[in-house]
Amino acid sequence: MRSGVTDFGTGTTAWAVSVSIQAVSRNTDLLVSGNTNHVAGPCTDMLLYESVVGMSNVSASGASYCVGPRSAGGKYFNYISPLECKFNAEVFKKSAGLKRSDINEIVKKLIPKYEENLKNPPKGKSFTECYDIKTLKPTQEWLDIYLKVKKEAIDLGIPLDYP
């Protein structure tokens, strides 16, 4: 899955991840795991773009399951929320069976949206800042970002349910 860009926000090469997962899934009976390490924090579109790139890549390449997200690279206490977990699962599941060439085209369109921020990613907001802790629902700001990026992913070819 050559995208023309090597780093997709997970600290590794999209192409290398893709080929290694393909090799194991095609030539063994092992369950192959993908792993995504996002660098942006919750309540940022960058985190969700990283999710689409990482999850669609490993899913279309043959991974059986994926570990992630790891919002903000796991650097900050309380910087993960259920919404990005849900989004990662949705993208992973709906990307299974898609053509790698189609995912490659999606990846090439999304990476430029955040690539320049990989070395200085937005910290985002903590769980208590992007979720109502009484209702355990995302804030309107976080929900709007999620719906915007989800719609973009759909428009690019990921068959997600909307909203």
> Does residue 78 surpass a pLDDT of 90?
yes
C-alpha closest to that of 71 among 86, 61, 58, 92: 86
Residue 5 vs residue 19, higher pLDDT: 19
Provide the percentage of residues in the chain whose pLDDT is more than 70.
92
C-alpha distances in Å from residue 22, one per residue of 1, 26, 27, 31: 10, 6, 8, 12
Report pLDDT for 136: 97
Give me the residues paired with residue 7 across strands. 13
Report pLDDT for 91: 97
Report pLDDT for 1: 37
84-100: average pLDDT: 95
Q: What does the mean pLDDT of the chain come to?
A: 89
Supply the angle between the helices 140-156 and 82-95 in degrees, to the nearest 10: 10
Report pLDDT for 147: 98
Tally of residues, the chain = 163
Report pLDDT for 144: 98
Answer yes or no: is 162 within a domain: no
| pLDDT classification of 11: cutoffs 50, 70, 90 | very low
C-alpha closest to that of 9 among 64, 88, 66, 72: 72
Neighbours of 95 (CB within 10 A): 25
Q: What is the pLDDT of residues 133-160, one digit of tens each?
A: 999 999 999 999 999 999 999 999 999 9
Answer yes or no: is 161 within a domain: no
Distance of alpha carbon 66 from alpha carbon 29, whole angstroms: 17
Answer yes or no: is 5 within a domain: no
- Decide: helix, strand or coil at residue 23: helix
Answer yes or no: is 144 within a domain: yes
Distance of alpha carbon 83 from alpha carbon 66, whole angstroms: 16
| pLDDT classification of 67: cutoffs 50, 70, 90 | confident
Report pLDDT for 15: 76
Answer yes or no: is 7 within a domain: no
> Does residue 55 surpass a pLDDT of 50?
yes
End-to-end Cα separation, the chain, in angstroms: 29
pTM assigned to the model: 0.90
Answer yes or no: is 1 within a domain: no
Q: Is 72 left (phi over 0), alpha (psi -120 to 50) or beta?
A: left
> Does residue 37 surpass a pLDDT of 90?
no
Residue 124 vs residue 163, higher pLDDT: 124
Distance of alpha carbon 5 from alpha carbon 12, whole angstroms: 11
Distance of alpha carbon 125 from alpha carbon 103, whole angstroms: 29
How many domains would you assign to the chain? 1
Answer yes or no: is 73 within a domain: yes
Answer yes or no: is 65 within a domain: yes
Residues spanned by the domain of 70:
14-156
